[in-house]
Structure 1
Amino acid sequence: MPARIYRPARNAMSSGMAKTKQWVLEYVSDTAREVDPLMGWTSNEDTQAQVRLRFPTKEAALEYAKDNGIDATVTEPHRRKANVRKGGYGDNFATNRRQVWTH
């Protein structure tokens, strides 16, 4: 069963970086998800799709996949450049501004 190894992105609902430092090995399901007609839940016949393993490094995840015969593909994370302004946050409230500050 194929799997993918990736580093999760940060949650868009917060500015924190929790749960983004570790690498994740997640199995890719071979079958499509189905909607239960009675409850409306989505389900899958493949229970391996529920397994999500966390590793401290990419190398540890690759070694685990190799030792267990898992065909894994690695997705490298995209790095964002820092958003550093010349005046910083305090520049928003400077008294010598030449233009109007609005949201």
Structure 2
Amino acid sequence: VHGLCQSDGCHGNEAEFYMKCASHPTSEDELSVALDLIITNSRDVPCIACCDITDVVLVFQCSERHVICLDCFHRYCQTRLSERQFVSHPVIGYSLPCAGRGIP
């Protein structure tokens, strides 16, 4: 892919992009992160927060596989960060529980 770098002092004109199958886990020495929880909403599942149906969603790894739109997930992350509610996980680092936890 050709283009023009927008960083000050750089005159590069070539970019490299890498694709990875979402079904393959990412190892710790990988330079890119597979965002396998962000998927196309082909089943038109509504967001658990705003009830909108968007084209791209995040699916939580809970047993119910709750779905949240990216805008609501962004707000959820910002709120939990300001409340210091991120949870330390020994394998994946800091993370958040499903936003649907506690919903009747």
Structures share fold, TM-score greater than 0.5: no
Normalised to the residue count of structure 2, the TM-score between the two structures is 0.21
Normalised to the residue count of structure 1, the TM-score between the two structures is 0.22
More helix by share: 1
More strand by share: 1
Larger Rg: 1
